[in-house]
Every structure is written in structure tokens, then in C-alpha cells.
Amino acid sequence: MSPSTRVAFSDLARATYCPRQLYYARRDDDRGPPADVEERRALAFRYRTLRDASDDVLRDSPVAVAPDSYRAALDRLAARDEFEALCDPVDRDVLLTGKDCRGIVQKLLSGRGSNESNEATPPTPVLVSPGEPPDRGVWEPQAVKAVAAAKALAWEREREIPRVLVEYPTYGVVRTVHLTTRKKAAYRTALRTVRSMDGPPPRLRGSDKCDACEYRSQCGVKTRSLRSLLGL
């Protein structure tokens, strides 16, 4: 791959999770999201109505927790300064194209207000994840994807984008990703990995990631059985 080729956000995330998984997904042209992803992401645009939704409505929606827990999570979310902007983003499904990468962010929040230097605050890209949040922060592949989104938007707007939001709407949780030195280093590593890929990368040697991977039967990684984990 040419160093000048822009890399997709999703490829960077896959390469962070497992470069070999990205290799198989590219080979099989299988990089689209699962069928139910859009239904889950749609929750991120219904927060106002879902806060007061009945148990039946919530049970019929793809929320991942009990109705009472979900409403409580949305009440906590409503206390955030960004809540109104998350409900009414300035733009949706925005394609960002940067110097090195490109991809879609599900929301773009305008840079309202001003900072101490009286300059308008920068816009905030938002990634909406259909999955479960970790106990703290975001998963590493999502952090790399967030850095990619910030860098692409910074390239377009010619200004620094210091943070990205990652939403987990099936849990009513939103996490802030700041562009730390460590996260930017992980992004650069993923970028080098994708650009240098010209064949199947080494296996992860039985990583826990392998158990959930749809390519494990092709990959040939020997995963540990329940018996071996229990020492039987």
C-alpha cells in the first residue's frame, strides 16, 4: 500500500484489535457492519423520548440493560453539558477526510461557546458504538479510531481537535477521548501496520481475542478449551 493512501477508520480499529483479522476481512471483502448495528445506533438520536419511555417501549428497543437502569443512565447523561448537542447534532453521518485517514463519524457537534482567548471552541466528532462500554474509558480500537477522526477533522478545519466523544447508546453511556500522547502513538502504530500489510500478519498465539473472532477457524490459532482453562 502506498504511504500516501488514506486508511479507513475501521481498518485502523481492526488492525489495533488484530492485524490478522483485518487481513481476512480485506481478503473476503467483509468490512461492513452487522445487520443490527444501525438499529442500535439509532438509539443515540432518541435520548429525549427514551428518558420517559415505558418499560414496554424500552424492552422492544435494542437497549442492553433493564428499563430502570437505562432511564437512570440517560438521566446521568442529561446532566452532561453536551446532552442537548448530542440530541441535536449539527450534522450526522459525516465523511471526514484527513491527510492519512478517512471515515464516517455518526455525529458532529458544533463548537459553541468560547474559550479564554475568545476563540470559538472547536467542533467535536462523535463515534457511536453499538457495543458494550468497558468499565472505564473506551476500548483501545475505539480510542485509535477516535484519534483518526480527530486528526481527519483537524486536517479539514485546519485547527486542533482535542477530543472525541464515543457513545454506547444501548447502555446510555458517553465517554470522552482526549488525544493523549499514548493514544496518538497507538494510532501511528496502527497506521504503519495497515500501510505495511502485504500478506497475513503473524497470529496472536491464542489471545483471548481469538475466541470471539469470526475468522478463528481460518486463522488456525489454537484457542484454549474450557477444560484446559480449568486445569482438567
Q: Which three cell numbers stand for residue 59?
A: 424492552
In a domain, 55, yes or no: yes
Contact between 221 and 210 under an 8 Å Cβ cutoff? The reply is: yes
In a domain, 221, yes or no: no
pTM listed for this prediction:
0.85
CATH of the domain at 169: 3.90.320
- Average pLDDT score, the chain: 87
Region 162-178: what's the mean pLDDT?
98
Percent above pLDDT 70 for the chain = 85
pLDDT band at 54 (very low <50, low <70, confident <90, very high): very high
Contacts of 15 (CB under 8 A, 6+ apart): 22, 190, 193, 194, 197
In a domain, 46, yes or no: yes
**Residue where the block lists cell 477457524:** 217
**Full domain range(s) for residue 108:** 7-202
CA–CA gap between residue 28 and residue 3 (Å, rounded): 23
In degrees to the nearest 10, what's the CA dihedral of 30, 32, 35, 38?
Answer: 170
Considering its fold, how many domains does the chain have in total?
1
In a domain, 230, yes or no: no
In a domain, 217, yes or no: no
**Nearest Cα to 190, choosing from 12, 34, 68?**
12
In a domain, 107, yes or no: yes
Sign of CA dihedral 213, 215, 219, 221: positive
In a domain, 228, yes or no: no
In a domain, 219, yes or no: no
pLDDT band at 30 (very low <50, low <70, confident <90, very high): low
